[in-house]
Amino acid sequence: MDFAFTDDQKEFRSLLRSFVDREIIPVAREWEKEGRYPTEIVAGMADMGLFGMTIPEEYGGLDLDPVSFALVFEEISRGWMGVAGILGSHSLACRMIAMHGTGQQKNDYLPDLATGRRRTGIGLTEPEAGTDLQGIRTTAKLDGDHYVVNGTKMWITNARYADPLPVLVKTDPTASPRHKGMSILLIEQSLDGFTVSRDIPKLGYKGTESCEIVLDNVRVPRDRLLGGVEGIGLKQALSALEWGRVNIAARSVGIAQRAHELALGYAKQRKAFGQPIAEFQAIQLKLATLATNLQAARLMAYWSADAVKRGRADAQTGMAKIFCSEVALEAAIDAMKVHGGYGYSTEFEVERLYRDSVLMSIGEGTNDILRTVVAKALVKGEVTV
C-alpha cells in the first residue's frame, strides 16, 4: 500500500500551505471577530483556480481527483474552516452540474463557475427537513415553459453569491416513493420572487454566510431542470454528497492539524514552575494523543478519498466523516486544555477551532445517521473491514 502523495500533490499542498500561512492565518481571527467577509481570500482562491476543482478541464476547471480535492479542504481549514465552506458548497454544486447537467446547462454555467466569476451552492435543507430530504415541502409546478416554485430553504451556504443555485424541489408531491417526485432546478438570483431573507446567527462557521431563502412564485425556465429529466433530483444530490463527506472529513483534519500546531507551540513556550509546560507528563500525554489521533484521521480521510476515486464509497466516506469529525472536536478541546485559561479567551485562535469543530459532526449528515449508513453497507456485504 502506498500512503504517499504524488510529486504533483506534494507541490500542490506546498502551494496551498503557503497561501494559507500568508493570506488566511494572519487575518482570520480579526476578520471573524469583525464579521468581515473574506473578499480578498476569495479572490486569491479564484486566482489559484480552486473554484474549478470539480469542473472538467474542457470548461476551464482543474478536474481534481478526490485525494487532491481533500488536500484543498485540509489545508484551507487549517487556516479558517469557514472560508473552506465557501469552496465546499460551490464545488459540490459544480460537480452535480458537470455530472448531470445538459450540454446547454454546462456551457451556460461551468466556464464562469470555474473562474469564480459565478459562484454557487446547494439548496437542499428546509426548516422542517434536514436529514430527511424526502420530507421537503418546496414545490415546482409546471406552467407552460416555466416551473412555478414556492418554498423556503435554510442553512444555505453562499446564499448571497450563488447564481445559479441548484434547488431540490418536488415536481410531483404525490409520488410514491417520495424520491421519485423530486427534481433539481438551477435557479438564478435575478428571478422575481427569489429572496435571501436573513442570515442565520451561528456559534462558529463564520466567514461564509448561512441564510434562509424564500421562493415565492419564482418562474424558472423549463430548460433549467437539471439534466432535463424530472424525478431524479434526490439521486443527483446524493451523488454530490459523497464528495461532500470527503470534504467534511478533510476539513476536520485541517482543524485537528491546527489544534495540534497551536497546542505544541504553546506548550513549548509557556512556562510554569520554572520550566516549559511541555516538560510535564500530563501535557505530554495530551500532545501525544492529539498527534496520534490526528494522523489516524488523516489516513482515514485520504483512504476514503481514494475509495471515491475507485467507485461508489458511501460506507468509506461515512466512516471517515464520523471518525475525523470526532477527532477534530477532541483535538480542539485538548488544545484548549493545554492553553489553560487562555484557551477560553477569544484573544487566542484555539477557541475558534472548538466552535468550528462542533459543526463537523452535524454537516453532510449527522454522525448518528451516517453510522446507520455504514451499518447497512456492512450487513449487505457492500464493504468489509
Compute CA distances 185 → 41, 51, 96, 238, whole Å: 30, 21, 12, 15
Compute the radius of gyration of the chain from its Cα atoms: 21
Overall residue count recorded for the chain in this entry: 385
Q: 337: exposed, middle or buried (C-beta count within 10 Å: 0-12, 13-18, 19+)?
A: middle
Task: Answer yes or no: are the C-beta atoms of 270 and 283 closer than 8 Å.
Answer: no
CA dihedral sign of residues 73, 77, 83, 88: positive
Collapse the DSSP code of 378 into the 3-class scheme (helix H, G, I; strand E, B; otherwise coil) and give the result. helix
Greatest CA separation found in the chain?
A: 80
Ramachandran class of 271: left when φ > 0, alpha when ψ lies in -120 to 50, beta otherwise: beta
Q: What's the CA gap between 352 and 19, in Å, rounded?
A: 20
Q: Which three cell numbers stand for residue 75?
A: 489545508
Q: Which three cell numbers stand for residue 241?
A: 454528497
What b/e readout covers 350-384, taking b as 16+ CB neighbours within 10 angstroms? bbbbbbbbbbbbebbbeeeebeebbeebeeeeeee
Number of H helices, E strands in the chain: 11, 8
Is residue 364 part of the annotated active site? The answer reads yes
Residues in Cβ contact with 100 at an 8 Å cutoff, skipping those fewer than 6 apart: 184, 226, 227, 232, 236, 239
- Name the residue among 50, 43, 49, 1 with its Cα closest to residue 23: 43
Q: What's the CA gap between 304 and 241, in Å, rounded?
A: 13
**Three-class DSSP labels, 210-251:** EEEEEEEEEEEEHHHEHHHCCCCHHHHHHHHHHHHHHHHHHH
Task: Answer yes or no: are the C-beta atoms of 133 and 142 closer than 8 Å.
Answer: no
Collapse the DSSP code of 37 into the 3-class scheme (helix H, G, I; strand E, B; otherwise coil) and give the result. coil
Of 74, 209, 330, 364, catalytic: 364
Backbone phi, then psi, for 143, in 5-degree steps? -135, 95
User: Catalytic residue positions?
Assistant: 364
